[in-house]
Structure 1
C-alpha cells in the first residue's frame, strides 16, 4: 500500500509528455523494446541460443507419472482458475501427471516463494509458476533446479536461467500493438489515456507497458500518456484507482487501459458508475466472461486476451516434454496435445499464439 501512496504523490508532478522514456512511473521496465510496424507487416523472428536453466542430476522421468505443483501469482480469480483448469485438463489427457494448484491468496511474492520452497522440501518432480516478481522469485526456482526438479513458467516470467522454459501467452510487442491500436481507434490520434496496472515490478505488465510506450511513440505520437497507477490484483483497489483517475483528469481523460484481468472489469465498472460510457474508453486484458456485461451494454468495445485455459494446458505439455527429454535446448518447436506444434522463440520461450481482440461481434462465442 505504501508504494501506491508513493506513486500517487509522485504523480502530482507527472507530466503528460513522453520525453521521460526512462521514468518508472510509466509502469514499464528498462529492457530494450521492439515495436512492431504501424501497419500489419509481421515481425521477423531472430534466432537466439537457449538461455534457460538446467536441473542438476534430474532422475529419469521419461513416461513416469509426474508429481507437479502449479504456483500461480494468486488463486481465487477467474484468470488463474482458467489456467489451473487447462493444467488439470492436460494432466487428465496425458494420464501420467498428478498436478495440483497451490498459490497465495494475494499477489504476494514472499508468499509465493515460501510455497515453492515448501514444495521443494516436500518433494515434487515439476514446478509450474507465474511470477509475481521476476528477480525475487529466481533464487528459489534455482534452488528447485539444483534439487533436480523440472521448472517451467507461464504467464509471468522469472530470470531465464531460473527455469527451463517459459510459455509466453503472446509476444509482448504483439499485445502492445493490439492494445494501442484499439485505444487509438476509440479515442483518436491525439486522445489522452491512463493505465491501471498491478505493480511496477510485475514482469509481464511491465514488459507490455514498455512495448506500448515504444509503439505509441512510433505509431500514435500525438496521443498523451497521463499516468500509470498500481492496483495490485485487487478488485476494490482497481475500481478506486480508476475512479480517482476519472475525477483527477476530468474531461482530459479519454481512455483507461486495464493491464490485468481484475483491473479491466473494475475500470469498466468505474466508468459505468461515473456515467462516462461513450466518453471514456476502456481497453484492456481480461477474460471474456468478466467483460460480457460491459461489452453487451456498449460501454466497452475492445478486450484483448488469449485463452488462459490453453495457456495452462500448453505449460503442462511443455513440462511433460521437458521431463521426458522430448524438448531440449536448441529445439525449435514442441508438441502440445490438441494445440499442435508450438514454436520456440527468444531462446527458451514457447509462444502460445497471437492475442485475440474480443468485441460485441465475437465475445459471446467464448466461455472462460
Structure 2
C-alpha cells in the first residue's frame, strides 16, 4: 500500500504541488486526503455503511463477566501507560470486565502479532489493539474474529474488516490542521520544516502526514517540507534523528514535527542541547508531562494531543457495548460512560473528539 516515491509522484497522488516538498519520501500513505477549511469551518461527516468485521458464532456475553486483553504497539512508554490506565478505569467502573495490558517492549509488528496469537490460543473474550502495521496485523485479528472474540482497535487502525470497531482519537484531517496551523504560527508562512515519525508504515502517522501535506499545500502553500525520518518509537534514535536534521539543514530548518509521544520530547531535547531554542520550533504529538520541562523553558510552545486516558476508557466502553450487543452495525452513536455519547463515523469508527493544543497557559492543568 505504501509507496516510496519521489516528491513529484507523491504530489500528484495527493493533489498537491511538488514545489512544497524536497525530493524525498514524506512518510505519508497514498490514500485520498480531505483537508479541512483554512478558516476552521468544520468538515462534514457523511454516513457510510458498516465496513467492520463480524465475529463467528460469538457466545452471548450480554452482562456477563468477560476477559479482555489490550495489546498496544508497545508497553512501557507514557502514552500507552495512559491508555492502559483508561482501560483499567473503565473496566473497574463497568464491574464485569477483567482487563489487562500486555505486549512487546518495542514497536515491532511481528512481536505484536505473536502476543495476540497467544491470547487467542489461551482464550479471551475481547481484544483491544493499537496496530503497528494495518495490513500485517489483519490476519491474526481475523483469526480472533473467527474464534468468536470481540475485537476493537484504538489509536492506530487495522484494515476495517479485521476488527469490529476502531476508536479514533481525532479525525486525521483535524490533527493535521492543528499541527500545521501551530507550526505556521511559529515559523511563519515561508518557514521550512522536517518530521520525525515512527515508521513509514505506522497507519495513524502515515495518515496524519498525508493530511498534513494536503492541508499545508491548501492553506500554507509557501511553507517548505525538507524531509521525513523514521525513529522507531525509540527515544535515543528519535534524539539522534532530530540532531541529524539540525546539523544537516542548519539555518534552513525552522521547525520539527514530532509524530509520536517519543519523537516530540526527544526532538525538543535535541533542539535544547543544540542551543536552538527559539530558532527551531518543535510542534508535535506528546503527553503533557513529557513536554512540561520544554514548555516551561519556552523551547516548545505547542503540544497537540487528545487525552489518551479517555481514549483507552472509550475503547473499553466500546468493547463492552459490542460484547453486550448494544453496539451493532448501523449504529450512529454509542454510550461511553462518563464521556457521554460518542459518534460513529466512516462506517465503523467511533470518534473520541477534536484534538487539543497544550500551551504554557494550560499544560500544568493536566497530569498524564
Give the aligned partner of residue 235 of structure 2: 235
Residue 24 of structure 1 deviates from its aligned partner by 7.4
Name the SS of the counterpart of 2:153 in structure 1: strand
Name the SS of the counterpart of 2:25 in structure 1: helix
Give the aligned partner of residue 355 of structure 1: 355
Residue 18 of structure 1 deviates from its aligned partner by 3.2
Give the aligned partner of residue 155 of structure 1: 155
**Contact (CA 8 Å) 2:20, 2:224: kept in 1 or not?**
no
Residue 22 of structure 1 deviates from its aligned partner by 12
Q: Runs in 1 of length 4+ with deviation above 6 angstroms? A: 20-24
**Contact (CA 8 Å) 1:343, 1:350: kept in 2 or not?**
yes
Q: What's the TM-score once normalised by structure 1's chain length?
A: 0.95
Deviation track 1:210-241 (CA, whole Å, cap 9, x = no partner) reads 00000001000000000000000000000000
Aligned residues: 357
* Separation (CA, whole Å) in 2 of partners of 1:277 and 1:82: 28
Question: Any unmatched runs of 5+ in structure 1?
Answer: 1-6
Q: Does residue 67 of the first structure (1) align with residue 67 of the second (2)?
A: yes
Pairing of 1:145-294 with structure 2 (within 5 A) = 145-294=145-294
Name the SS of the counterpart of 2:68 in structure 1: strand
Give the aligned partner of residue 25 of structure 1: 25
Give the aligned partner of residue 340 of structure 2: 340
Residue 96 of structure 1 deviates from its aligned partner by 0.2
Cα root mean square deviation, aligned: 1.7
Residue 25 of structure 1 deviates from its aligned partner by 1.1
**Relative to structure 2, which stretch is displaced further, 179-188 or 18-27?**
18-27
Give the aligned partner of residue 14 of structure 2: none
* Separation (CA, whole Å) in 1 of partners of 2:42 and 2:350: 18
* Separation (CA, whole Å) in 2 of partners of 1:298 and 1:268: 11
* Separation (CA, whole Å) in 2 of partners of 1:307 and 1:93: 18
Q: What's the TM-score once normalised by structure 2's chain length?
A: 0.95
**Contact (CA 8 Å) 2:20, 2:221: kept in 1 or not?**
no
Pairing of 1:48-63 with structure 2 (within 5 A) = 48-63=48-63
Q: Relative to structure 1, is the Cα distance of residues 22 and 136 closer, same or farther in structure 2, using a 3 angstrom cutoff? A: farther
**Contact (CA 8 Å) 1:254, 1:280: kept in 2 or not?**
yes
Name the SS of the counterpart of 2:29 in structure 1: coil
Name the SS of the counterpart of 1:357 in structure 2: strand
Residue 286 of structure 1 deviates from its aligned partner by 0.1
**Contact (CA 8 Å) 1:198, 1:233: kept in 2 or not?**
yes
Deviation track 1:52-102 (CA, whole Å, cap 9, x = no partner) reads 000000000000011000000000000000000000000000000000000
Deviation track 1:225-262 (CA, whole Å, cap 9, x = no partner) reads 00000000000000000000000000000000000000
Pairing of 1:317-328 with structure 2 (within 5 A) = 317-328=317-328
* Separation (CA, whole Å) in 1 of partners of 2:313 and 2:209: 26
**Contact (CA 8 Å) 1:301, 1:360: kept in 2 or not?**
yes
